[in-house]
């Protein structure tokens, strides 16, 4: 049987460890529940995920955000015990999934931990309601409060992914997928990356020139910002191999006391599908969910290895001690790598 852990460079071997494993934790056949976000809350060993858009009649939506005959569902997953990075926890896996849809998060997409007790969600919005960034408590009753909902009065297109810097600033991408998918009005802004400072309420456009900016993350020392461009696929489902399926890297520089993204460069290109969600490990390696699973590059842009998953991965997140939770639409997988392979975001 062919291993799902593919090594292209010797540097991948210590990341995978001596006995990496890949197991399916949960499958939901009714709709693609595991598409975006992937926010691991270590305190209670839970995972928040958002579904892909699916068609549903209003009486079938069960509280899910609903627009134009499309719905997106937020699910809280109670995970099985964490592994120790050296072997697999014995099954069977007792997975409990709670469908939640707190008021104020319209057509949820990406998400990130916000402090110890909250999740910051991308709210794409609908044709009738604005989108933006919304904070949700990670515990019942999952109270929400908006963080930012416009660029000085101009509505965002369909906010896609978000990350929080150590200084508290919030960085996010805003492609025009929502309009192409029929859930949002005509775009009011270019396809850009933004930075919002919750302390001053200042919001700035930080990078432009993308086809479809999508995933975003920082290097462990926050000197580099990575942004994926998924222009290869448009919201109507059309694809074009000549369009970008690319990760760009930027240096984070300070001018006049303020951050700027400089030295834009092509960091890597996905050979299969698009590089969607993106994260770094504590060593600075770059991971992205692609059309064939999780692809891993060195900080220098060398493809080190892959974790192959049939159907690919839109997004994923690190858990504890080498665990990676892979969102595979109808399926949730857990890859267990070396215990020293930890995500830079939480460092656990």
Phi/psi at 166 (5° precision): -65, -25
Pick the CATH number of 5-336 from 2.120.10.30, 1.10.10.10, 2.60.40.1240, 3.40.50.300: 2.120.10.30
Region of residue 332 (phi > 0: left; psi between -120 and 50: alpha; otherwise: beta): beta
Phi and psi angles of residue 89, each rounded to the nearest 5 degrees, phi first? -65, 135
Write down the mean pLDDT value for the chain: 94
- Give CA–CA dist 265/267, Å, rounded: 6
In the chain, what is the greatest distance between 2 CA atoms, to the nearest angstrom?
Answer: 57
Secondary-structure percent of the chain, ordered helix, strand, coil, rounded to 5: 5, 45, 50
Interval 213-229: pLDDT, tens: 999 999 999 999 999 99
pLDDT digits over 227-250, tens only? 999 999 999 999 999 999 999 999
pLDDT of residue 92: 58
> Pick from 35, 4, 17: which is nearest to 339 by CA?
17
310, two tokens: 């049939």
Between 89 and 50, the higher pLDDT residue: 50
C-alpha to C-alpha distance for 87 and 339, rounded to whole angstroms: 10
The secondary structure element, H or E, covering residue 324 is strand 323-328
**Region 64-89 average pLDDT:** 74
Q: How confident is the model at residue 86 (pLDDT cuts 50, 70, 90)?
A: very low
| C-alpha–C-alpha distance, residues 48 and 110, integer Å | 10
Q: Per-domain residue ranges for the chain?
A: 5-336
pTM for this prediction: 0.95
pLDDT at 61 over 60: no
**Percentage of the residues of the chain whose pLDDT score is greater than 90:** 90
For residue range 170-205, what is the model confidence (pLDDT) as tens digits? 999 999 999 999 999 999 999 999 999 999 999 999
Query: Could you give the residue ranges of the DSSP H alpha helices within 98-182?
Result: 177-180
Q: What is the pLDDT of residue 85?
A: 47
Judged by average pLDDT, the poorest of 32-36, 91-95, 276-280 is 91-95
Higher pLDDT, 31 or 87: 31
Cβ–Cβ under 8 Å, residues 210 and 231: yes
Contact 7, 307 (CB under 8 A): no
């Amino acid at each position: 049987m062919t291993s799902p852990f593919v090594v292209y460079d010797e540097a991948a071997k210590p990341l995978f460890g001596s006995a990496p494993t890949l197991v399916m934790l949960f499958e939901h056949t009714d709709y693609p529940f595991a598409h975006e976000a992937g926010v691991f809350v270590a305190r209670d060993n839970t995972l928040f995920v958002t579904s892909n858009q699916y068609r549903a009649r209003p009486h079938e939506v069960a509280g899910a955000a609903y627009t134009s005959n499309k719905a997106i569902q937020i699910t809280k997953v109670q995970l099985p015990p964490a592994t120790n990075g050296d072997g697999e926890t014995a099954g069977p896996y007792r997975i409990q999934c709670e469908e939640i849809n707190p008021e104020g998060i319209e057509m949820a997409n990406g998400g990130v931990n916000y402090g110890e007790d909250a999740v910051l969600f991308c709210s794409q919005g609908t044709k009738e309601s604005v989108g933006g960034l919304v904070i949700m408590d990670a515990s019942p009753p999952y109270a929400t409060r908006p963080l930012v909902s416009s660029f000085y009065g101009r509505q965002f297109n369909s906010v896609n992914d978000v990350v929080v810097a150590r200084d508290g600033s919030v960085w996010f991408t805003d492609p025009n997928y929502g309009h192409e998918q029929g859930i949002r009005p005509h775009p009011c802004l270019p396809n850009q990356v933004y930075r919002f400072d919750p302390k001053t309420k200042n919001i700035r456009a930080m990078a432009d020139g993308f086809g479809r900016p999508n995933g975003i993350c920082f290097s462990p020392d926050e000197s580099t910002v990575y942004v994926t461009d998924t222009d290869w696929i448009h919201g109507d489902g059309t694809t074009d191999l000549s369009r970008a399926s690319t990760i760009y890297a930027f240096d984070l520089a300070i001018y006049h006391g303020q951050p700027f993204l400089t030295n834009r460069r092509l960091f890597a290109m996905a050979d299969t599908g698009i590089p969607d969600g993106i994260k770094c490990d504590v060593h600075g390696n770059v991971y992205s969910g692609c059309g064939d699973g999780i692809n891993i590059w060195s900080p220098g842009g060398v493809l080190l290895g892959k974790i192959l998953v049939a159907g690919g991965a839109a997004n994923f997140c690190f858990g504890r001690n080498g665990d990676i939770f892979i969102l595979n639409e109808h399926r949730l997988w857990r890859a267990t790598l070396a215990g020293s392979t930890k995500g830079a975001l939480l460092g656990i």
